[in-house]
Amino acid sequence: MKNVKTTTILAMAFISLTVMSCKDSKKEQVNEESHTEMNHDNSDGHHDNDTSEMNHDNMNASKDMMDSNAQDSDAKQVVADYMALKDALVETNKDKAAKAGKKLESTLSGFNVSNYTSEQQKELKDIIDDAKEHAKHIAKSPIAHQREHFKILSKDVVDMIAITGTETTLYQQFCPMYDKGSAWLSMSKDIKNPYYGSKMLNCGKVQKEIN
């Protein structure tokens, strides 16, 4: 009986300690996170100022660089990931699309906008934030939702390319049937509809050629 008592007391102490320490460490973590986030924001802010003030000379240089290779590697990767996603939707393959969405999300997270003018940076950041949200949802949604998000994502990518330019020719294609008319981008002129897949594979037309 005495044994039971001591075990219970020990157990009690143990449980309360673990629970307390668990909660505390969780709290600490949260604090730490918000700290780093704050610092991050700060440093970001500084960073922006720095680049806009300090790098005036550099800016011309980078602009030249941008002209010489029309599109930076981040934007190129976004387009590549987007195409993988589009192809998965054409196949009506939810898991493949989810994977592509995840990949796209991580590419977008690492997008370096510092080579652009401050106005372009603002626009790009907005586009990237928005696209990231859609990519994130595509990574965890059923196919119907993936397609809904893909529609808005397509607009984001089109707007991004308007700023970053594109090395390869892209075709903006349009399906008048899906959700009052929806566009997407493709590398080829051929129509393969990502909104319906095999149900209506060839529904749509080329709307615009983007060079």
Partner 1 sequence: MKIVKIIALILLVGFLCIQFVPTNLNQSNIVPKTDFLLINNPPENLSTLLQESCYDCHSNNTGYPWYNKIQPVAWFLENHIADGKDELNFNEWDALSNRRKKSKLKSIISQIKDDKMPLSPYVIIHKGAVFSETEKQEIIQWMTQLKDSL
Task: Give the footprint of partner 1 on this chain (CB under 8 A).
Answer: 4, 7-8, 11-12, 15-16, 19-20, 23, 126-127, 129-130, 133-134, 137, 145, 148, 152, 156
Which of residues 122 and 189 has its CB atom nearest to partner 1 in the complex? 122
**Bridge partner list, 182:** 175
Cα-Cα-Cα-Cα torsion 137, 138, 141, 143, nearest 10 degrees, comes to 150
Whole-angstrom Cα distance, residue 85 to residue 187? 13
Which of residues 192 and 194 has its CB atom nearest to partner 1 in the complex? 194
Least distance (Å) between residue 15 CB and partner 1? 4
The residue type at 39: N
Least distance (Å) between residue 12 CB and partner 1? 5
Beta carbons within 10 angstroms of residue 10's beta carbon: 10
Which of residues 24 and 190 has its CB atom nearest to partner 1 in the complex? 24
Tokens 């615009």 belong to residue: 208
Least distance (Å) between residue 144 CB and partner 1? 9
Least distance (Å) between residue 154 CB and partner 1? 12
Least distance (Å) between residue 73 CB and partner 1? 24
Which of residues 23 and 189 has its CB atom nearest to partner 1 in the complex? 23
Residue 192 per-residue DSSP state: -
Cα 205 from chain centre: 27
- Residue 158 · residue 62 · CB < 8 Å: no
With b for 16 or more beta-carbon neighbours within 10 A and e for fewer, the 122-142 pattern comes to ebbeebbebbbbbbbbbbebe
Which of residues 30 and 177 has its CB atom nearest to partner 1 in the complex? 30
Least distance (Å) between residue 80 CB and partner 1? 23
- Residue 71 · residue 165 · CB < 8 Å: yes
Whole-angstrom Cα distance, residue 187 to residue 189? 7
Which of residues 107 and 146 has its CB atom nearest to partner 1 in the complex? 146
